[in-house]
Amino acid sequence: MRKILLFPLMFLAALISFSGSFNRGINADDKIEKRIDSVLVKMTLDEKIGQLIQIVGMDTAKEKLIRNEQIGSVLIGLRGRAECNRIQRIAVEETRLGIPLLFANDIIHGYHTIFPVPLAEASSWNPELVKESCRISAFESASEGTRWTYAPMVDIARDPRWGRIVEGSGEDPYLGSIFAAARVEGFQGNSLDEKASIAACPKHYVAYGGAEGGRDYNTVDISERTLREIYLPPFHAALQSGAASIMSAFNDLNGIPASANHFTLTEILRNEWNWDGVVISDYNAVGELIRHRFARDMKEAALRGFKAGVDIDMVGDSIDGNPYAPNLKNLVAEGKISEEDIDNSVRNVLRMKFRLGLFDNPYTDTLYFKGNNLSKNYKDSIALKLAEESIVLLKNENNLLPISRDIKRIALIGPFADDNSNPTGPWAGGYKQENVISVLEGLKKSVNSGILIDFVKGCNVDDSDYTGFDAAIKAARKADVVIFTAGESRWMSGEAESKTDLNIPSVQQELINRIQAAGKPIIVVLMNGRPLTINRISENIPAIIEAWYLGNQTGNAIARVIFGDYNPSGKLPVTFPRSTGQIPLYYYHKSTGRPFDKEDKYTSKYTDSPNTPLYPFGYGLSYTTFSYDPIAVSKNRIKKDESTKVFVKVKNTGKYAGQEVVQLYIRDDFASVTRPVEELKGFKKINLMPGETKQAEFEITPDMLSILDLNLEPVVEPGKFTIYIGSNSVDLISTSIEIVE
């Protein structure tokens, strides 16, 4: 019998400190509950089941279903305010009870203003700024009638073969939890019923990022310990920040599909976490229980999905025929589902609609959004700031960067240089190419007339056309410096884009090699949605900028970094492996009984590769340098319920002003279960002028030292802990503290 466990306390400290409140999502509002009762009591069984059905798109047949109160929500697409209001009028004014619809969309990193992809945003290590970008996305979405977004994606991913790694915040549960909370708070604002707030929907619950082989939709089979320590924390963080809904995943989880998994959907979500939001399945995931061979037919799929805890069947009518629509009523008639069970799910849906204020204000208020409009300058400034802070400087040999504006000629080469589409990445909302600043446009805007930008595409993204090589090499020969934009198209990562080969396409690599032979300094600007095995670039190219997909402000942000108007501060939220053979490779690995020892053959290693990554978690360079004084500790021996503080002075020892992400890692030196060699437990992003010193301070609380013991119960064990502080997960200084009985 599982004990009802409070979630591992180690994450709660971080969340309370960030979200400023605890359990906002579950303080049921009595007034709303009474209003739910007053609606529910009037509803027929058909009308109740209608609230649990979601359709995609719109046509006259679907409008008819709405008139017959058979639909509760719509994955509406970017049809805009007028169309949403028109459809809403059907639900509110042409039906018996006038229950408003929920309109949903995948607003992952922007509706009109496209921000960097989430993996890029996570590289900023600036949750407050990311929260601001989500607030803007919420405003734009709500102004167009969308009040529910299928975001944030909070899947922990430590396998870059999995294309959806681009949609999340990387490999670390702590960092992922911080960003999950930030995004939910940004989308939902101070109150869900604000007209510019939208309901968040952390996804894909749960462990979707653990797909075997990094192959999308593949089986996930993990221990409950891994589930609780790695994959659940960001979801718990999102719900603690008040997320109104959650999306169940496609994957099979330990033998039970995630969209029919009573343990995760009810025992954890409802009983352990006491959460009262809406569970919606991923796209036809209930119907796909048949393909899992977990259900014989649609009726059994409906029974298994509903009984496990899925409230709304997303778009079940789209592919295999709608599981819930005809079958739930029959299952009630056969006594396999009680009407009380139906009522409980319908309550969850009505609660979300009341919390959004839809019963009182079902229509998008045009005047409100006109009167409170966010200026384009403001939105662009946030998009630019976030794009700049998302850039990670991977290499800068001999300080090639930043380049001076005194140079005369830049050769700009590569398939993404004059590109207003790929820089928006997958899930780019309603982006418009005319709003996307390309690298070429950004560089041209950023230089005076004295510098010639000689653009030659040179090659496409991924084919065997070498016909552009000669012109590119010729341009390189005439230039003072070459900027080469390399990487993946926006469609090479994201959903259903898993790959076995993480090299950049060979045509790009070949052109880089030939340009390098021309002997001019090269800066490679990477645009990609996942870590790539860029060993040859890393070995041979003097300067490498990881730019991911930065959205509308791509060209401005990259130009400002290249010329030093912004000193890059990004840090990798995910490990870059040397080869796919190393995967999975992540920083918080276990010690093993035979940790690698170069003097001892019989230790954990590969014979054809180092164990170390190409670039480690938390890594990123700056145009300046920082020095760390030894760590000071207020008390190095504390009891289980006591805290202590660690301090470190950081100095900017270079000539550029810069931001340093001071990272705090903790190692439980010896414990009743094996623990990682280190775990991220805190970070502070500080601004330092040249020569300036600041002190970074971290409180070490018992919650941060808590682990799940043999029985998966949170416990703080006596013993020594190593405290690490540094600029990434490898370059660290350390000290020791001890928990005493």
Whether 222 contacts 232, CB under 8 Å: no
The smaller minimum CB distance to ligand GLC, of residues 164 and 571, is found at 164
Interface with ligand GLC in residues 433-462 (CB under 6 A):
none
Catalytic residue status for 282:
yes
The smaller minimum CB distance to ligand GLC, of residues 125 and 283, is found at 283
Question: How many angstroms separate the Cα of 477 from the Cα of each of 409, 454, 460, 511, 536?
Answer: 10, 11, 20, 13, 21
Report the nearest approach of ligand GLC to the CB of residue 282 (Å).
5
The smaller minimum CB distance to ligand GLC, of residues 203 and 571, is found at 203
Q: What does the block give as tokens for 106? A: 């995948």
Whether 393 contacts 545, CB under 8 Å: yes
Interface with ligand GLC in residues 298-337 (CB under 6 A):
none
**Residue 282 lies near ligand GLC (rule: CB under 6 A):** yes
Name the residue with the smallest CB distance to ligand GLC.
150
Among 131, 158, 161, 203, binds ligand GLC (CB under 6 A): 203
Catalytic residue among 155, 172, 282, 311: 282
* DSSP class per residue in 15-65: HHHHHSSS-GGG---HHHHHHHHHHHTT--HHHHHHTTEEEES--HHHHHH
The smaller minimum CB distance to ligand GLC, of residues 84 and 723, is found at 84
Distance CA 282, CA 205 (A): 9
- Residue found under tokens 């009983």: 271
- Separation of first and last alpha carbons in the chain: 29
The smaller minimum CB distance to ligand GLC, of residues 215 and 409, is found at 215
Report the nearest approach of ligand GLC to the CB of residue 203 (Å).
6
**Residue 565 lies near ligand GLC (rule: CB under 6 A):** no
**Residue 738 lies near ligand GLC (rule: CB under 6 A):** no
Report the nearest approach of ligand GLC to the CB of residue 283 (Å).
4
102-105 and 148-149 strand pairing: parallel
Interface with ligand GLC in residues 72-111 (CB under 6 A):
75, 106
Among 246, 311, 227, which Cα is nearest to 708's?
A: 227
Report the nearest approach of ligand GLC to the CB of residue 122 (Å).
17
Residue 383 neighbours by CB distance under 10 Å: 27
**Residue 283 lies near ligand GLC (rule: CB under 6 A):** yes
Among 310, 386, 372, which Cα is nearest to 344's?
A: 310
313-314 and 53-56 strand pairing: parallel
**Residue 150 lies near ligand GLC (rule: CB under 6 A):** yes
Whether 486 contacts 527, CB under 8 Å: yes
Distance CA 728, CA 733 (A): 11
Whether 110 contacts 382, CB under 8 Å: no
Question: What is the total count of residues that contact ligand GLC (CB under 6 A)?
Answer: 7
Report the nearest approach of ligand GLC to the CB of residue 106 (Å).
5
The smaller minimum CB distance to ligand GLC, of residues 154 and 666, is found at 154
Report the nearest approach of ligand GLC to the CB of residue 200 (Å).
12
Distance CA 356, CA 131 (A): 19
Among 296, 298, 305, 240, which Cα is nearest to 269's?
A: 240
- Pattern of binders to ligand GLC over 475-514, x per CB under 6 A? --------------------x-------------------
Report the nearest approach of ligand GLC to the CB of residue 119 (Å).
15
Q: Is 610 left (phi over 0), alpha (psi -120 to 50) or beta?
A: beta
The smaller minimum CB distance to ligand GLC, of residues 165 and 473, is found at 165
Give the residue numbers marked as catalytic: 282
**Where do contacts with ligand GLC occur on this chain (CB under 6 A)?**
75, 106, 150, 203, 282-283, 495
